[in-house]
Structure 1
Amino acid sequence: MIEGLITGRLTTDPSERTDRFGKTFMVARMRATVGDGGLRANTGDGPSSLFVNVVAFDPVPCNQLRELQEGDVVSLVGPLTPKVWTDRQDISYPALDVVAYRVMALPRPATPDYQG
């Protein structure tokens, strides 16, 4: 586990879950750009992005995540755990699990014509 700050774009709307004891928590997924920041697919030169699985248990970050939606850019602070996932073609990719205890995001503009 590594304590860290990571920034990326949400790939799903954050969703609320309930554990077996009735306590609620939030989960989300985001994609963080790595390397040169290109948007190319993962290649032999190394990945251009990695998926980040996010979970928050404390009320403040849970409420902050609740206000966000897919496509929002967000920065998270918390313990990072490196992982590897394998796709259907048996290709492995790096990923991170993050327990967010701080969520930072710019609020969306309140204009109806915002296309962000």
Structure 2
Amino acid sequence: MSIEALILGKLHQKAEQRTSKSGKPFVTAKARAASGDGESLFVNVIAFSESACAALLALEAGDSLAMAGTLKPGAWVDREGNARPSVDLVVAKVLTVYGLKKKREASTQSPEQQPLESAPVVEFEQDHAWLAGGDA
């Protein structure tokens, strides 16, 4: 069973870029989302699209993010024999404050204050229709 989902949370550890056996790049990460009972739920994240991969790789552990994609719920058993929920998310879209933060920083500096070789502003998502439930 898989479910279309929007997960809000924080990146638990820095994302890692990997390469499949066929030579295609993908990114894996682990995110932490608050569950309704006040505890955290860890989400195993995998991204294949170039924009989602770039967005995840630009973040550091602890950065906030929103991810939309296909969720697959599951369970695992801990050392004490207790069943624990597991969640895997194949990410289609990632929304972060990273691009917005860089734009704001760049726009608040006068031309004299801007470094000659400043890092380019990275825009990860051009169309945010998926946030309102539309198709991107």
Q: Shorter chain as normaliser: what TM range?
A: 0.7 to 0.9
TM-score (norm 2): 0.68
C-alpha separation between the residues in 1 aligned to 2:10 and 2:50?
22
Residue in 1 that maps onto 2:32: 31
C-alpha separation between the residues in 1 aligned to 2:64 and 2:26?
20
Higher helix share: 2
Higher relative contact order (CA 8 A, sep 6+): 1
Superposition deviation, residue 8 in structure 1: 0.9
1:52 aligns to 2:43 (yes or no):
yes
1:102 aligns to 2:93 (yes or no):
yes
C-alpha separation between the residues in 2 aligned to 1:51 and 1:95?
7
SS at match of 1:13: strand
Residue in 2 that maps onto 1:11: 12
Superposition deviation, residue 89 in structure 1: 2.0
TM-score (norm 1): 0.79
Unpaired segments ≥5 residues, structure 2 = 106-136
Superposition deviation, residue 90 in structure 1: 2.0
SS at match of 2:53: helix
Unpaired segments ≥5 residues, structure 1 = 39-47, 112-116
Residue in 1 that maps onto 2:58: 67
Q: Is the 8 A contact 1:5 1:77 kept in 2?
A: yes
Identity over aligned residues, as a percent? 40
C-alpha separation between the residues in 1 aligned to 2:40 and 2:97?
21
* Structure 1: 4+ residue segments shifted above 4 A: 108-111
Residue in 2 that maps onto 1:91: 82
Superposition deviation, residue 15 in structure 1: 0.4
Paired residues, number: 101
Residue in 1 that maps onto 2:117: none
Superposition deviation, residue 50 in structure 1: 1.1
